[in-house]
Structure 1
Amino acid sequence: MAFTASSPSPSSLLRASFSPHEPKAPWTSSASQSDQFSFISTAGPSCQIPSLLKPISAETHRSKSVVPLAAKVAAAEVDKNNVAEDYEKLAKEMENASPLEIMEKALVKFGNDIAIAFSGAEDIALIEYAKITGRPFRVFSLDTGRLNPETYQFFETVEKHYGIHIEYMFPDAVEVQGLVRGKGLFSFYEDGHQECCRVRKVRPLRRALKGLRAWITGQRKDQSPGTRAEIPVVQLDPSFEGIDGGIGSLVKWNPVANVEGPDIWNFLQVMNVPVNPLHSQGYVSIGCEPCTRPVLPGQHEREGRWWWEDAEAKECGLHKGNIKKEEALHLNGNGNEISATNGSANVPDIFNSKTLVSLSRTGIENLTRLENRSEPWLVVLYAPWCRFCQAMEGSYIELAENLAGTGGKAGKFRADGEHKTYAQQELQLGSFPTILFYPKHASKPIKYPSEKRDVATLLAFVNALR
């Protein structure tokens, strides 16, 4: 269990500025005498309190934890009016509130019926904010079984630093066994990450949330412009149910929704809290080991997640409510972007330049069959609706102009819709955009391996293969 009433040395100062609340008298549950437990707040940064809160699931807890029935534990100073709360109105009222104010509000309203979702990345900021309030709080995490060793070590560091027990949720062993036996350990590289995430993350989360009335996440608007740009600081969860069941039975708090990434890191530095060592290795957004890698300079943090897919909406399903219905029409079951009308959508074409050759299906088939070409070719396989393709349009046109004067040609082939299967089977298409180089004397094109698509890097690739 993750339950603490510890007060760090700076907390008294911070509480005086933000939300003063001195330790109250001991509180006890309204349970029968035999089931009663009492809680006494004790100051001190390393205070370890045996957990008195109900578990998120019925899993075995550590030997020192005391786990009474949920209905028999009273929350400290819980706001009793949250059933009738208008959360859209509250979100507007708190739009400019600080993360600390939002955290305070969440913990006051829900007491031990709320928990912080901790992923082992910047969510440490949420735990620090909760600690600063001086109120009891719970932390849970999803152990998928595929996390980096550094992340597991970080969990242990966090527990010791804050004197808490993280409540771990695990995937169903039978479901994992069926997935691995049927499709192998790395099937997500071939058919997308959604199925594996559903088994290892979404279903365990669903079980966890069924034991709560609210949860706290580390979502930020700047994390994923495609899916998180409009998240409010508090909302009724559109995807999951709480302990009472039904839509609207779970409240979702996003205290750092309006905070930008650099400001989160400034806060972590100032507060001198532990961070995942993977961050110093170039990892920004951290998930499972096979599906996370460091990002390159200039790349968005979410490009390090499921990089082999071309989805703008890079979500694992934990926050699938962020994806709007109209955007979902452009995503297939694997999370990859597809044309809603099989390639014939009325979307303006891109890569329009006199220096670029627009190749038809026959044209690229002929180019691919040639073993002796008069000059080398660079060809981009693209879809005009893909924002990654749109983002590299300027640099690719500039590259085409550079090649025109050096004995090389640049072309484009629209590879979505009816041409997508052919491009995947014959042209190494994995995601949009895919860039192919056809040397003068070669039987097969060479696929550009990097996600850096600036002119200098692309030109270095071409010159290395001339």
Structure 2
Amino acid sequence: MAFGAVTSSTAISASFSSHSLEQTKVSQLGSYQPVNWCPASTVLNVSRKRSSCVKALNAEPKRNDSIVASAATLLASEVVQKVEAEVEAEDYEKLALELENASPLKIMDKALQKFGNDIAIAFSGAEDVALIEYAHLTGRPFRVFSLDTGRLNPETYRLFDAVEKKYGIHIEYMFPDAVEVQTLVRTKGMFSFYEDGHQECCRVRKVRPLRRALKGLRAWITGQRKDQSPGTRSEIPVVQVDPVFEGLEGGPGSLVKWNPVANVQGTDIWKFLRTMDVPVNSLHAQGYISIGCEPCTRPVLPGQHEREGRWWWEDATAKECGLHKGNIKDGNVNGNSSVAVQANGTTTVADIFNSQHVVSLTRPGIENLIKLEDRKEPWLVVLYAPWCRFCQAMEGSYVELAEKLAGTGVKVAKFQADGDQKPFAERELQLGSFPTILFYPKHSSRAVKYPSEKRDVESLLAFVNTLR
């Protein structure tokens, strides 16, 4: 994502006579100026490590290499320190509660009013165009950025151009490091993410460019919604201190994240887009809902969740590229962990899939199973981690399936594949994410991996019946 420089810059200018301090004036630049442009009439500019000029988002903070020994400088600094103290004292949890029922327009206006030139909208080329429309409706100057991964659809690039022309803005694009991309592709190929997950590619092409971009800001605006990903976005507030990335000042808490449409349903976003007649990605008309890079995005069928069109070979409810990895709970890449408290006060993870009809396989047991080329009965095995909330969510259906298959000749089993067993499971058992479900046919040494993200009894049973 990259940053569009249609924005204002706030500077505190102070001038003094021999007897009195004149009123501090706040001036705003109402239109875009070249990155290095600065008004010649400026006498003194004081801001949070940032000049009043419009700069690229990844620009280094201004250095104070000289000290001007004047009463004007000292007094103006005191004014700014007071303003900074007020900003830093903001309780964003309290503000999030106050704005919980506010409209996206009000939340957007508050964000732009509060941070001025030090905030920017993250634009991905999908429904994020709604954010730009809301910003436009506030009447305030605003900035836009987008990450160009080098693998976007042509339709996405055409949307970027249409948005720039409609709103009279310049989107500032951030690109991945060429050497990092070259190394990744040369060592692992163009499509390694299909085999070992999308995180590494996303880290190179999206997360690191984003990190550079956000180092030039104090806040950013995203199009996250609670209904987008039930496993990772269901609890996002409308405003929060960013739990992952750092802003202009550096260090934890130096960046504020605004999510103006967090409480808006996807259907309402589309009603707004149609009503305001804004340009949208033409891929939406072809069944694409959530749009990312071309190799990792596909249309979804009616009734499918929108995130099923992203990284479809992985778990639908835990799909984050890393830009919003703060949504993922600590200790569990897929969601909340489940722990049991022992009598001595210690905590351990409670095991799951406990049933007399589910065989618990040890490492030697599953190694023997995969070596058999002519089995006497077929096996269905789930590779799981007890702390995984999505493994926990399918426990009931898997146990019920085991009960239905009891006496049919199909063995139902489980193998705990996290911790020390994870490298083995990834290498030998096709583990990509938790849970992974494998079917070992009766007369074949090759396991068939369950391809669907639907884990209800009927879907799992249909998979087994097709292969046995």
* TM-score bracket for the superposition, by shorter chain length: 0.7 to 0.9
Residue deviations 1:296-342, cap 9 Å, x none?
A: 66655445444445596543332344445xx1x334xxx899999xx
Q: Normalized against structure 2, the TM-score is what?
A: 0.73
For residue 204 of structure 2, what is the amino acid of its counterpart? V
Provide the rounded CA distance (Å) in 2 between the counterparts of 1:410 and 1:26: 67
Return 450-459 or 293-302, whichever deviates more: 293-302
Q: How does 1:16-415 map to 2 (within 5 A)?
A: 31-33=39-41, 53-56=54-57, 81=83, 84-85=86-87, 86-88=90-92, 89-295=94-300, 300-309=305-314, 314-324=319-329, 327=330, 329-331=331-333, 346-404=348-406, 406-415=408-417
Q: Provide runs of 4+ in structure 1 moved above 6 Å.
A: 24-30, 335-340
State how far apart, in whole Å, the 1-side matches of 2:242 and 2:335 are.
25
- Please state if 1:416 is matched with 2:418: yes
Tell me if the contact between 1:242 and 1:250 (Cα under 8 Å) persists in the aligned partners: yes
Q: Alignment identity in percent?
A: 75
The code of the aligned residue for 1:198 comes to: R
| Change in 2 beyond 3 A, CA 1:83/1:210 | farther
Could you tell me which residue of structure 2 aligns to residue 3 of structure 1?
Answer: 6
Change (3 A) 1:132 1:122: same
Distance (whole Å) between structure 1 residues aligned to residue 200 and residue 376 of structure 2: 46
CA spacing shift, 1:377–1:210, aligned 2, 3 Å? closer
C-alpha distance in 2 between matches for 1:195 and 1:458: 30
Helix, strand or coil for the counterpart of 2:170? coil
Q: Secondary structure at the match of 1:410?
A: strand
Letter in 1 for 2:57: I
Unaligned runs of 5+ in 2: 9-26, 32-36, 44-52, 60-81, 340-346
Contact 2:229 / 2:319 at 8 angstroms: preserved in 1?
A: yes
**One-letter amino acid of the counterpart of residue 389, structure 1:** C
On the 8 A contact 1:310/1:337 being kept in 2, the answer is no
SS of residue matched to 1:330 = coil
Number of residue pairs the alignment of both structures matches = 402
Gaps of 5+ in 1: 6-23, 36-51, 59-79
TM-score, scaled relative to structure 1: 0.73
Task: From the superposition, tell whether residues 323 and 426 of structure 1 become closer, same or farther in structure 2 (CA, over 3 Å).
Answer: closer
Cα distance, 1:394–1:318 mapped onto 2, change above 3 Å: same
Equivalent residues of 1:121, 1:286 under 8 A apart = yes
Is the contact made by 1:380 and 1:433 (CA closer than 8 Å) also made in structure 2? yes
CA distance in 2: counterparts of 1:304 and 1:201, whole angstroms: 18
8 Å Cα contact 1:309/1:336 also seen in 2: no
Which amino acid in structure 1 is aligned with residue 40 of structure 2? S
| Alignment partner of 2:444 out of 442, 445, 448 | 442
Question: Partners in 2 of 1:348 and 1:299 — Cα distance?
Answer: 31
Map Cα deviations across residues 382-406 of structure 1 (whole Å, 9 max, x no partner). Answer: 2222222222223333333333364
Change (3 A) 1:404 1:34: closer
Q: 1:256 to 1:157 in 2, by over 3 A?
A: same
Distance 1:459 1:204, change over 3 A: same
- Deviation of the 1:97 alpha carbon: 1.4
Give yes or no for contact 2:397–2:456 (8 Å, CA) kept in 1.
yes
Mapped to 1, the partners of 2:372 and 2:242 lie a distance apart of 56
Deviations 1:424-453 (A, max 9, x none): 333333322222223332233322222233
RMSD across aligned positions (CA): 3.8
**2: CA distance, partners of 1:303 / 1:27:** 42
SS at match of 2:349: coil
Counterpart CA distance in 1 for 2:190 and 2:288 is: 23
Equivalent residue for 2:454, pick from 452, 455, 459 = 452
